[in-house]
Structure 1
Amino acid sequence: MGLLDRLRKEWFIIGIVLVITFARLEPSVGVKGGPLKPEISITYIAVSAIFFNSGLSLKTEELTSALMHVKLHLFVQIFTLVFFPAAIWLFLQILSLTTINEWLLKGLQTVGCMPPPVSSAVILTKAVGGNEAAAIFNSAFGSFLGIVVTPLLLLLFLGSSSSVPFTSIFSQLFMTVVVPLIAGQIIRRFIKDWLERKKPPYGAISSCVLLMIIYTTFCDTFSNPHIDLDKFSLIIVVFIIFFIQLSFMLLTFVFSTGKRSGFTPADTVAIMFCATHKSLTLGIPMLKIVFEGYEHLSLISVPLLIYHPAQILLGSVLVPTIKSWMVKRQKALTLKLQPV
């Protein structure tokens, strides 16, 4: 039974491996113009479905209740969307001197430009007992911000393929991201009670659609004879990703526990997860829009595909340690505040 439970828990990561394998075996099914017609079914329908689902699942009232913690939100958003991509860019200036595949390095830069995820940071903050409302707000607010900021960062740090003009990227983002998201939020207002009762599996729905997007992206790659990925580059990138995550978690911990920070231990937990996690659900569709027609699109998306399971794995491993730190720190603060 233990194995079955494990498989159920990790089904999405197993799914990623399976869809990439199927794409390798028979790429003609999911290529542009193939039976699945990804230029319509994925580019418009699947991407819109993911964001409509996000709009439907975001609890507006939870966002508004967490709104007042401005200092925490500013810290998380500036770290995620300004410091993170800039630090990665500096790091890549050194890595570009090595023999690591240049498209994987570009992929690392795209990871830096991504907004926080709507789920994993919240789940891990809740598991530790941190400030869940702040995690929900920052994940959701970061996702909204990411719709505008992430494409701008991608174009700033990487430039888009010359065939895709700036205006068409934003009009497509608006139609397939902003409109479905707002539609989801409006519909949620009318069927809120029903949604609360039924609790639809939002995460599973988005993940299934995401697997389709990943599948067609890799079908395009494997049908391209010029792409060649060496194992050395891939292994090094995995190590780099774990190094980036650990370093940035440590950095956010140091900043948010400083004497003048003014953050509670529960705030620190939310900051550590929200500021260092990156969204695959929003990231892959955005890369698909910004780098549409790019022959190296799937190589660029590989680091993000690695980053997603790595952040969940690393976060889950660190939950007991962070929890015991938070409990000790809270006890120490309570004792300090008690009158002698």
Structure 2
Amino acid sequence: MIRVPRPNMDGFTMALVATVGLATVLPVQGQLAQGVHWLAEAAIALLFFLHGARLPREEVVAGMAHWRLHLLIFSLTFVAFPLIGWAAVAALPHSLLPPALAIGVQFLCLLPSTVQSSIAFTSMARGNVAAAVCSSTLSNISGILMTPLLVALFLKVQGTALSLDTLQTIAAQLLLPFVAGQLLRRWVGAWAARHKTMLKFTDRSSILLVVYIAFSEAVVNGLWHQVPPTALGMVVLIDGVILALFLVGTMLLSRRLGFSRADEAVIVFCGSKKSLVSGVPMAGVLFAPATAGLVLLPVMVFHQIQLMVGAVLARRYADEEEARDALPATS
């Protein structure tokens, strides 16, 4: 019998909702906003430094040999997802979504895969964890360059023009701290691995800070006057349909291409996820302040849906593996 966990809202999602509520009633403005912005940038840099310090090079080297799997996930993340996002927005009547929310749906589809949840769900599903570590990490590193390039290709709005300064800002906030963490891993790696709680706190607090800044700016510029309940409901529907399409598509494609069940779990969980951790700071750099809050709404909604559905699906994979292991061996 398959055990299906109840998809409750996790504590981080509740914190995101509370942050949006705080920004609605008490938006940060003026010089204080600038100070909070600097604090958020420092927190994001520390987050990516700790990710670099904790990532074992041995797992990366072991996983990189599986090039067919990584090429497939890369294609899903940076080719199939962007095309589906563009088609979804193009097919909708303009009256159903405000322009900034439509941009947010497309921006969601241009983001790299997640790291933590992709690895966690692959492990829960008894999949190829080493390949998941390698693939999700390569996706995030590639996304530092790929996402801005795809934004420049697919989106034509104020604040998205790609420039050398934009790439330098993103590299300084995300890539350089990650590389520094890898280079210093010999000295700080063990300490970072022992203090997982600190990484979790840095991860979540940095995102909450950037979300608070983005939504404060958006509220000051009339956010909730631009988002009727029907538009928010449409975002939930579109996000859900896109996730379902990629979950089913990755499962069928991995089987059609002859991947093992352990690799199938990697393709399903890494190929269908989108990273809130990367998306939040990138939105702050790529989009005008008045637009960033609206652009992030579809990303935040997708984040919660992928966690709830991913938990159910990973548990189902695990139960099927346990049932298979329980079968008597055949001669």
Alignment TM-score > 0.5, same fold? yes
Partner residue in 2 for 1:92: 89
- Measure, in 1, the Cα distance between the counterparts of 2:322 and 2:152: 43
Does the C-alpha gap of structure 1 residues 58 and 32 become closer, same or farther in structure 2, counting only changes over 3 Å? farther
Partner residue in 2 for 1:167: 164
Q: Which runs of 5+ in 1 are unaligned?
A: 1-5
Q: How far apart are 1:49 and its partner, in Å?
A: 2.3
State whether structure 2 residue 205 is matched by structure 1 residue 205: no
Where do 4+ consecutive residues of structure 1 move more than 3 Å? 162-165, 193-201, 324-332
Residue-by-residue CA offset, 1:88-107 (whole Å, 9 max, x unaligned): 11121101445222211111
The 5 Å alignment of 1:191-340 reads 191-225=188-222, 227-258=225-256, 261-291=257-287, 293-326=288-321
Q: How far apart are 1:15 and its partner, in Å?
A: 0.8
Q: Is the contact made by 2:52 and 2:177 (CA closer than 8 Å) also made in structure 1?
A: yes
The 5 Å alignment of 1:81-160 reads 81-159=78-156
- Measure, in 2, the Cα distance between the counterparts of 1:97 and 1:160: 15
Q: Pairwise CA RMSD of aligned residues? A: 2.5
Q: Is the contact made by 1:161 and 1:294 (CA closer than 8 Å) also made in structure 2?
A: no
* Residue identity (%): 27
Does the C-alpha gap of structure 1 residues 91 and 206 become closer, same or farther in structure 2, counting only changes over 3 Å? same
Partner residue in 2 for 1:3: none
Q: How far apart are 1:160 and its partner, in Å?
A: 5.2
Question: Aligned partner of 1:91: which letter?
Answer: A
- Measure, in 1, the Cα distance between the counterparts of 2:116 and 2:101: 25
Residue-by-residue CA offset, 1:211-255 (whole Å, 9 max, x unaligned): 111111111111113752101010121122111111111001111
- Measure, in 1, the Cα distance between the counterparts of 2:90 and 2:193: 48
- Measure, in 1, the Cα distance between the counterparts of 2:70 and 2:139: 9
- Measure, in 1, the Cα distance between the counterparts of 2:259 and 2:326: 15
- Measure, in 2, the Cα distance between the counterparts of 1:16 and 1:163: 25
Describe the SS at the equivalent of 1:191.
helix
Does the C-alpha gap of structure 1 residues 61 and 48 become closer, same or farther in structure 2, counting only changes over 3 Å? same
- Measure, in 2, the Cα distance between the counterparts of 1:281 and 1:144: 12
Partner residue in 1 for 2:48: 51
Describe the SS at the equivalent of 2:221.
coil
Q: How far apart are 1:262 and its partner, in Å?
A: 2.7
Q: Which has the higher contact order (CA 8 A, sep 6+)?
A: 2
- Measure, in 2, the Cα distance between the counterparts of 1:23 and 1:313: 25
- Measure, in 2, the Cα distance between the counterparts of 1:236 and 1:228: 14
Q: How far apart are 1:187 and its partner, in Å?
A: 1.8
- Measure, in 2, the Cα distance between the counterparts of 1:198 and 1:225: 41
Question: Aligned partner of 1:311: which letter?
Answer: Q
Partner residue in 1 for 2:65: 68
Range 125-134 or range 321-330, more displaced: 321-330
Does the C-alpha gap of structure 1 residues 147 and 179 become closer, same or farther in structure 2, counting only changes over 3 Å? same
Question: Aligned partner of 1:289: which letter?
Answer: V
- Measure, in 2, the Cα distance between the counterparts of 1:175 and 1:67: 26
Describe the SS at the equivalent of 1:34.
helix
Q: How far apart are 1:60 and its partner, in Å?
A: 1.9
TM-score, normalisation: structure 2? 0.90
State whether structure 2 residue 146 is matched by structure 1 residue 179: no
TM-score, normalisation: structure 1? 0.87
Q: Is the contact made by 2:149 and 2:162 (CA closer than 8 Å) also made in structure 1?
A: no
Q: Is the contact made by 1:265 and 1:329 (CA closer than 8 Å) also made in structure 2?
A: no
Q: Is the contact made by 2:113 and 2:274 (CA closer than 8 Å) also made in structure 1?
A: yes
Describe the SS at the equivalent of 2:64.
coil
Question: Aligned partner of 1:210: which letter?
Answer: I
Q: Is the contact made by 1:265 and 1:330 (CA closer than 8 Å) also made in structure 2?
A: no
- Measure, in 2, the Cα distance between the counterparts of 1:322 and 1:149: 31
- Measure, in 1, the Cα distance between the counterparts of 2:267 and 2:130: 12
Q: How far apart are 1:155 and its partner, in Å?
A: 1.5
Question: Aligned partner of 1:64: which letter?
Answer: V
Residue-by-residue CA offset, 1:59-115 (whole Å, 9 max, x unaligned): 222111111111011011111111111121112110144522221111110110000
Q: How far apart are 1:51 and its partner, in Å?
A: 1.9
Q: Is the contact made by 2:53 and 2:181 (CA closer than 8 Å) also made in structure 1?
A: yes
Partner residue in 2 for 1:41: 39
